[in-house]
């Protein structure tokens, strides 16, 4: 299946994204590696979930938040690929940062919300990936989750 078919079959719609109004760029390409900057859970111009897991957000909300971060990752990847996500040959790694209190021991379960979206969108072969997932004390703009990624281009 093409990525477009995967997206349609899972009813996944990628958001519109714009370059960060800051001192960095949303992605960089080096050789065959496409490196996507850390993405916050922006949806329709605002953060979908803020605060900490273990205090302000429940597990399921955290997973939904991680999924939205991953949607933004894919939207930037699509731009980097000139609009054609089929140019991605492999997902190398996801970095999934969860704003969490010290007693929230499920950042990996939150992270599955991002991992599953990438698998659904790119398919099991191109979507499987290595990852790191952990709890951090705070994220930019008090976002609940941030996701960065590295892909391989064909």
In the complex, the smallest distance separating the C-beta of residue 150 from its own copies, rounded to whole angstroms, is: 8
Q: Which of 43, 67, 49, 72 is nearest to 115 (CA)?
A: 67
Q: From the list 3, 69, 122, 139, which residue makes contact with its own copies (rule: CB under 8 A)?
A: 139
Q: Which of 113, 145, 110, 151 is nearest to 3 (CA)?
A: 151
Residue 33 sits in the site that holds its own copies (CB under 8 A)? yes
Residues 51-90 that bind its own copies (CB under 8 A): 52, 54, 90
Q: From the list 23, 45, 46, 83, which residue makes contact with its own copies (rule: CB under 8 A)?
A: 23
Specify whether the CB–CB gap between 34 and 77 falls below 8 A: yes
List the x/- string, 97-126, binding to its own copies by CB under 8 A.
x-xxxxxxxxxx---x--xx--x-------
In the complex, the smallest distance separating the C-beta of residue 20 from its own copies, rounded to whole angstroms, is: 9
How far is Cα 28 from Cα 25, in angstroms, rounded to an integer? 7
Q: From the list 32, 58, 86, 125, which residue makes contact with its own copies (rule: CB under 8 A)?
A: 32
Q: Which residues lie closer than 8 Å to 116 by C-beta, 6 or more apart?
A: 67
Specify whether the CB–CB gap between 56 and 108 falls below 8 A: no
Which residues make beta-bridge pairs with 145? 98
Binding site for its own copies (CB under 8 A): 22-28, 30-33, 35-38, 52, 54, 90-95, 97, 99-108, 112, 115-116, 119, 128-142, 146, 148, 150, 152
């Amino acid at each position: 299946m093409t990525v477009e078919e995967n997206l349609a079959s899972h009813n996944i719609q990628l958001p519109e994204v714009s370059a960060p109004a800051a001192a960095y760029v949303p992605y960089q390409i080096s050789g065959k590696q496409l490196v996507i900057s850390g993405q916050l859970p922006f949806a329709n111009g605002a953060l979908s979930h803020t605060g900490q897991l273990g205090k302000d957000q429940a597990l399921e909300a955290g997973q939904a938040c991680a999924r939205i971060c991953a949607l933004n990752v894919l939207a930037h990847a699509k731009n980097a690929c000139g609009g054609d996500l089929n140019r991605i040959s492999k997902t190398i790694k996801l970095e999934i940062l969860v704003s969490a209190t010290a007693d929230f021991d499920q950042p990996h379960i939150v992270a599955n919300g991002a991992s599953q979206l990438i698998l659904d969108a790119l398919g099991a072969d191109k979507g499987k990936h290595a990852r790191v997932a952990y709890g951090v004390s705070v994220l930019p703009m008090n976002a609940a989750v941030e996701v960065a990624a590295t892909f391989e281009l064909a």
